[in-house]
Each structure stands twice: as C-alpha cells, then as structure tokens.
Structure 1
C-alpha cells in the first residue's frame, strides 16, 4: 500500500464514520410526534387488499375501509380539522420494515398485537377485538378448527400472518398453503386447492359479504386484538394516538365507524369488536 493511499484513507475514513454516525443519530433523535404535529400530517401504512379494513377503490384510486377512516379521525383529533392523513399501501411483509425505515409514521392495518412484534415496534392500546376463524364454501363439512386436524387437509393462509402459526398449533396435522395476500388465498379456496381459508374473523366476514356462497364458521378460536403501531421508542407519538382513541370512543366517533363498516353483517358481533 502506497504512502499516498494511506494518507487518503486516514483522511476519508473518519469523514465517512462521522457521516454514518450523524445519520444514525438523526434517526434516533427523530421525534415523530413533534414532526407530524408541525406538518399537521401523519403518513399511515394501511392495507389496500382487505375488504372492510382497507381496500383500493378501482374507480377513484382511493383506499377505503375502517382502518382508513379511523386513521383520518385520529389525525384530525390530534392536529385539528385541517390536518391531513396520507396513506401508503402495506402488506403483511412490508408494514414493519416501512415503519422501521421511516417511510411511514404509523400503521393502521388490521395488525395483530404479538410479543414478537413488541420487541421491535410499539403498539397503542387495542382498538379492534379480532380473533381467527375459518371461511368455507356453504355446505362444507368443516364447521370448526378441530375438523381441520386430519392428515392431508389443506388450509389457505397469508404469509407473514399469525394465522399460519395458529393452524400449526390448533390443527397440527393440517397442511397450510401460504399465499401472498387474501385475494390469492380466496382464489385458491374457490379453485378447490384446500377446504378452508383462515385469518381474522373481520377480514373473513368482509370476503363472505361479497361472496354469498361462502360463510364464516366455528366462531373464533384465538383472541388477537389489533393495535395501531409506531416505531420503537416513539413514546410521545404512541401516547397521543392513545389519547385520540380515547377521545373518539368518548365522543361516539369510534362506534359510528364500527357500525358503518361492520353493522348488519350476519353473524358478526359488533360488541366484541368494541371491547377488545
């Protein structure tokens, strides 16, 4: 190695390290609450493929659903009527990375609270009482999760969700076919690749509502409430979202949104949703 090259390294490496450390420090000191309060805007990660919670309207390009409406209400409750909620589409696999990388400020995406996720992100209080259930074709002999516990029985679920692990736990003899999203899972069910599709009850009721030849059966065999999420350490942001949720429940906005999206669906217990 030449003396000239050594001199270049001595000069450049410290500058590089300072740049990296500065960038790391900037991310660590980013106060999402103060930043979003100043901008009067929160960027939310939401689903765009899940009826009732977040689904893309192909006519106008908007994402519509309970989570979207709730995120809008929280944003305005926190920062005023002229505050803006911006939405970025997420999936089961992308919502946590997008949050950790700072691409979004918070997640409202039918996201189950789990101990594993708590290690890397922070949740608000539960806002939706969900539990896993089964979707089958009407007339199916499958009536409960125990009916799946037979060798060779195939069940559809979405990759990266708690549904996969739960089937392994409650029906260990069943085989889980893991698909990329709910649309693919339901298509696989319709084509006969398995006897049931499994995920949270609210999502399944949304599919059944649009497909009357299918029904949700067996009640819920898990208790997995949803929480809104922020990056680890954003305690101020989490606290203010929790406060806004309390205020929306107190003034009746939360109940009106639940009734708007889930009221009148046969077999769906709205009271369970409101008391996660």
Structure 2
C-alpha cells in the first residue's frame, strides 16, 4: 500500500497577501472524487498564425485604463494554485503561498504599487482559470496555463514566461517506459480537468482510461489511494508530485506536448498585458526570472540557460 505523503484534499480558499507577508485564509475542504473524462465541446476554428504572439510592451503605462482600475482597487487580484508544489503551493510552516508562478505576480504587483506590492491571491482550480478572468473576478491568472489559439478567443495572454511539456507519473515499481507503452492500456490515468493535459493524454494513448480532478492535489490523492494508476500533466507539476511521494516516479520520456505558459488576463485588458510583458522583460534582463527558476524548478527539472524569448506582433484591438 502506498504511503500518503504530504497530500491533502483539494481546497477552495481566498488568501490575501500584502507587503507584510501576512495571510488571512478561509479553508473549505473538498474531497476529491474521480470523474469520468467528458469529451469537450468542439472549439471554434482558430486561424491564429502564432498563438505565442502577445502585445508588445511599448507604450505600457501606469495611467492606462486597466492599471488605473487596479490602483483604485488598491490591490492586484491574482488567481493562483495553492497545491502545485514549486509553482504555487502553501508553505506548511509559514502558511504563505509560494512558488515560481507566485514570483511572477509578485513582480507585477511590485511594479504597480512599489515595495508594498499589494497583492491578493485567490486560490482557483484549473477549470476556474478562464471563467475567473472572463467574469472579472481576478485581474490576472498565474496557474501554469498553456497559451493556445482557442484560449486567445476567450482571454488574453502575456508573452511566454515558461516552456513546459507533458509527461506521465506512475508507481515507482512500474515497468512502464512511456505514455504510449501498451502496459498502460486499460489503466486509469488522472489529468486535471479544464487542462490541455487531458486532450494530450487521449491523443498519446487512446487506450488508457482518463479520469479528472479539479486540482493537482486531487490527482495525487487519487493516485495515492489507488483510484488512479498514474497522473499525466506538465513536467513542472509532476516534479512537485514526485517530490511529495517517494513511491512515485516521472517516466523518463521525451515530453509529448509543448506547454508554453502565459499569464492570463481579461480579453479587454490589453493595456495590462502590455504592462505585464514589460515586467517580464525586466525580470528576464535583471536576473530575477532566473533566480526564481533556480530556486523553485531547477532542482527537479535541471539547469536552464535562458528564459523563453518573448514573441510580439499581436495587433492591438481597436
């Protein structure tokens, strides 16, 4: 029987962070349940020649419409994860949410408000990422979200701030060598709901039985309880899962998808996107981006020579 290591039930909470680092958290436990994967509705046709194109930071201003709104609200509201180790997870000692994704939004908040960096972190699940932006419940989402053409029809993205890829996690004693391995046929594999991982998994091995959970911890709990044989998702997330469970391993296979991460924003907030792209450029230039990568991701994912280069050229809406 697998030993449960540092996995908790998925939670839905709101966390407020200010420059002081103090957090006020309300936690509502939610027992993760396996869900049969449901085929998504057919997406609208996409003709974007390059979904990685974002709005050039030239002309970014603190006096633009979105930035004035955020300053009037006296805080930047960011949708994040609290259970993706190394990306966005709650430190059990300090109680604070920390990680690579969190460093990105902290830098944006600091650029808007100065050293105080008024930042409110709202914990959301994968399926809540886009609705939270569309409904304007958050200003920005930093939750390992892949930039793609279909999503650009609903929201706007920053330039790529990290390049991930999908792999699969299995029990430590498994003889499976890849996600395509016939030994996985008929096995139950968990992938986060509302993510690109689910579709990628079905394409890579249509013979597995996919189930979903709303959070990364939800998939880990299903794996550790024996309800899922494995987990398929971004290598960043799986590295965090494996770090919490010594009875798990990530398959040493080439990533079978490209997952360029972008910070998500409301489709109308193109001026905020420009500002965020300016902040990301500054982080990459002055070493803060690499410092964050080396702290949170390098120990599991290895050395990285340089951050991803931004791609601009998306026409501003008229």
| TM-score band w.r.t. shorter chain | 0.7 to 0.9
Q: Higher RCO, 1 or 2 (CA under 8 Å, sep at least 6)?
A: 2
- Equivalent position to 1:146, from 166, 172, 180: 180
User: Please, which runs of 5 or more residues in structure 2 have no aligned partner?
Assistant: 1-63, 310-318
Shift of 1:143: 1.6
Q: Which residue of 1 aligns with 2:24?
A: none
Is the Cα–Cα contact under 8 Å of residues 162 and 308 in structure 2 kept in the other structure?
yes
1:241 to 246, 266, 276: 276
Q: Does the alignment pair 1:168 with 2:164?
A: no
| Contact 2:86–2:297 under 8 Å retained in 1 | yes
Q: Does the CA-based 8 Å contact 1:189-1:196 persist in structure 2? A: yes
Distance change in 2, residues 1:172/1:272 (3 Å): farther
Structure 1 segments unaligned to the other structure (5+ residues) = 1-29
Residue of structure 2 equivalent to 1:133: 167
RMSD of aligned alpha carbons: 2.1
TM-score (norm 2): 0.72
Q: What number of residue pairs does the alignment pair up?
A: 245
Deviation at 1:81, TM superposition (A): 1.9
Pairwise mapping of residues 1-276 of structure 1 onto structure 2 (< 5 A)?
A: 31-38=65-72, 41-147=75-181, 151-217=185-251, 218-265=253-300, 268-271=301-304, 274-275=307-308
Q: TM-score, with normalisation over the residues of structure 1? A: 0.82
CA contact (8 A) 2:298 2:304 kept: no
Find the aligned partners of 1:229 and 1:192 in 2 and give their Cα distance. 34
8 A Cα contact 1:133 1:198, kept in partner? yes
Judge conservation of contact 2:290–2:306 (CA < 8 Å) in 1. no
CA 134–69 in structure 1, closer or farther in 2 if over 3 Å, else same: same
Aligned equivalents of 1:210 and 1:149: distance in 2? 25
In 1, Cα distance between the equivalents of 2:128 and 2:144?
Answer: 13
- In terms of fraction of residues, the more helix-rich structure is 1
